[in-house]
Structure 1
């Protein structure tokens, strides 16, 4: 299992498994808050400090909320507003050990325009 946290440590995340692929998105939000993002079944990532130490930002089609620490401001994950069976949530891999980030293949996604992967 891999453990990560926001900068101040108020929000801690434990991944259920080692991710193989992450996504670097260039949409108007992701290009500002970073990433890369890894995805897991909703509820499978252990998150402590949420919701008592977090705030949410909801935008666009209003189906997801981006979660950030209220103390240090680091974006830790996103989650669906209305979770359904089998839905996913995204975890900001930037909150984990750099060795884990280096070990994961990162795919580039054009969320700003074509909504497709733009890997070479």
Structure 2
């Protein structure tokens, strides 16, 4: 697992709001040990852009991964990290339901 995130993001898009997630973003090459397709159910909204992974055992959304090989960022559900690991992170709010821009 990579280092503690400096920033966590709360997105208000219809999926993230319903999932109740906080995203910590990392470069794909920085992360190892995430559950894969054998351990998760995968959902891609409209079949595009990213795959959301949900644990087949507990049902928690664990992360999203890009579908395109040209994209190098993924998101880990920071609500699954130890609270001490994200305690110092700045909280950002993204208007994923509208402009796609950060609100702060």
Determine if contact 1:38/1:90 at 8 Å carries over to the other structure. yes
- The one of 26, 30, 41 equivalent to 1:55 is 41
Shift of 1:48: 4.4
Q: Tell me the TM-score normalized by structure 2.
A: 0.89
Structure with the larger RCO, 1 or 2 (CA within 8 Å, 6+ apart): 2
**1:65 is the counterpart of 2:51:** yes
Q: Unaligned regions of 5+ residues in structure 1, if any?
A: 1-13
Match of 1:97 in 2: 82
Choose between structure 1 and 2: higher strand proportion.
Answer: 1
Shift of 1:51: 2.4
Determine if contact 2:4/2:86 at 8 Å carries over to the other structure. no
Match of 1:22 in 2: 8
Counterpart Cα distance in 2 of 1:27 and 1:70: 23
**1:111 is the counterpart of 2:87:** no
Shift of 1:61: 6.2
Determine if contact 1:42/1:83 at 8 Å carries over to the other structure. no
Choose between structure 1 and 2: higher helix proportion.
Answer: 2
Match of 2:72 in 1: 87
Determine if contact 1:78/1:89 at 8 Å carries over to the other structure. yes
